[in-house]
Amino acid sequence: MVINKTTSYCCECRQSHNATIEQNGEHIDFHVDCPKRVKSSRISSNASIFLGIRKKYSRDILSPSSHNGKKWFHLVEITDDCNFKCPVCYVNAGSSSSKTFLSVESVLEKAAYVKNSGGKIVTLTGGEPTLHSGLPTMVKKISDMGLKVEIATNGLQIAEDSNYARILKKSGLRRAWLQLDTFDEDTHKKMRGNNFIEQKKKATEHIISSGLRLGIIVTVTSLNINDIDSILDYALKLGSKLDFIVFQVAVPAGRYQLPQDTLVDREAVIKRLMDSRILNMVRSLDCFWPMPAFRPWQLEVHPDCAAVLFLLVEGETWQGFIGG
């Protein structure tokens, strides 16, 4: 059954072709009508959740964006160097012997573009941004522009240097997004190539004690999807010290070295959250909303790409969810 018709850019032909999103039983498939061959891919394993999120979208899903391409936040990759060699890395960071570090001036030019285009937040990433010696200077100068500055980090440098997070905070850093996938050493070795779990916990401590806001990013595969409860148990006990947990599904790009059957989709993550023993009040799709195409947020995220769950936290315990 055809859900909607659309168009899609074909990298092979370098042209846009007609495309359809179709329901096939409990799956959602995407078909691109390339003249050379029809290209199909499965984009969801759970049609009920996929369509349920769509129904909550506040406007016509096929209508042009009302934001003219403006985005609140922008990612700026300041280096391709990394002190991890993660088998799930989608940018293949740290694989080259020639390491690139953008100059402070170059990064400031990119930040100026963000500000002039209406952006509010710059997230410095990589590779691993803490390997760039100019990071504190970048943070200060971008912050002085009136932009909010964040970093996405594996946390190793922050764990090993107890003062480093304080330096970044003093420079004007607002939030550190910490990659944290599992507390199981074997799974961590398979996904990240190391067993630096204690270092992750130490990085969390240093981020919080410095006064920085904390976000946790979990890259989800079939290897760690059942570890979500242990991550939630750890993270929610941080209480108001934690701003966000982002569950992002792994993508077969960059240096992704795991078998294809380790890939999961957004709907599998939502289903796992609904089944969580930790989130015992979150048992239905009523708790989840398109991210973030609902008032008062107006950001550029397609409702098929993400969903949001708001949790009410008091002290070091969560009290329930908002919405539904």
Mean per-residue pLDDT over the chain, rounded:
88
pLDDT (0 to 100) of residue 282: 83
Confidence of residue 273 (pLDDT cuts 50, 70, 90): very high
Q: Indicate the angle between helix axes 47-55 and 266-274, nearest 10 degrees.
A: 90
Do 30 and 165 lie in a common domain?
no
pLDDT (0 to 100) of residue 10: 78
**For residue 17, pLDDT beyond 80:** yes
Do 142 and 37 lie in a common domain?
no
- The answer to whether position 51 is within a domain reads no
- The answer to whether position 297 is within a domain reads yes
Of 100-109, 169-178, 264-273, 300-309, which range is least confident? 300-309
pLDDT in tens, 156-207: 999 999 999 999 999 999 999 999 999 999 999 999 999 999 999 999 999 9
Do 183 and 232 lie in a common domain?
yes
pLDDT (0 to 100) of residue 318: 57
pLDDT in tens, 87-106: 999 887 777 777 899 999 99
**What mean pLDDT do residues 224-245 have?**
92
Do 263 and 301 lie in a common domain?
yes
Do 124 and 37 lie in a common domain?
no
Do 288 and 144 lie in a common domain?
yes
Confidence of residue 292 (pLDDT cuts 50, 70, 90): low
Greatest Cα pair distance, the chain, in angstroms, is 59
Do 276 and 184 lie in a common domain?
yes
Do 303 and 232 lie in a common domain?
yes
Do 129 and 35 lie in a common domain?
no
Structure tokens at 319: 């009290």
pTM to 2 decimal places:
0.90
**For residue 324, pLDDT beyond 50:** no
**For position 223, which CATH number holds?**
3.20.20.70
Do 28 and 161 lie in a common domain?
no
pLDDT (0 to 100) of residue 57: 79
- The answer to whether position 63 is within a domain reads no
How many domains does the chain contain in total? 2
Do 111 and 231 lie in a common domain?
yes
Domain of residue 27, residue span: 2-44
**What mean pLDDT do residues 37-47 have?**
90
Do 12 and 97 lie in a common domain?
no
SS3 string, the chain, reads: CEEEEEEEEECCCCEEEEEEEEEECCEEEEEEECCCCEEEEEEECCHHHHHHHHHCCCCCCCCCCCCCCCCCEEEEECECCCCCCCCCCCCCCCCCCCCCECCHHHHHHHHHHHHHCCCCEEEEECCCHHHCCCHHHHHHHHHHCCCEEEEEECCHHHHHCCCHHHHHHHHCEEEEEEECCCCCHHHHHHHHCCCCHHHHHHHHHHHHHHCCEEEEEEEECCCCHHHHHHHHHHHHCCHHHEEEEEEEECCCCCCCCCCHHHCCCHHHHHHHHHCCCCCCCCCCHHHCEECCCCCCCCCCCCCCCCEECEEEEECCEEEEEECC
pLDDT (0 to 100) of residue 39: 85
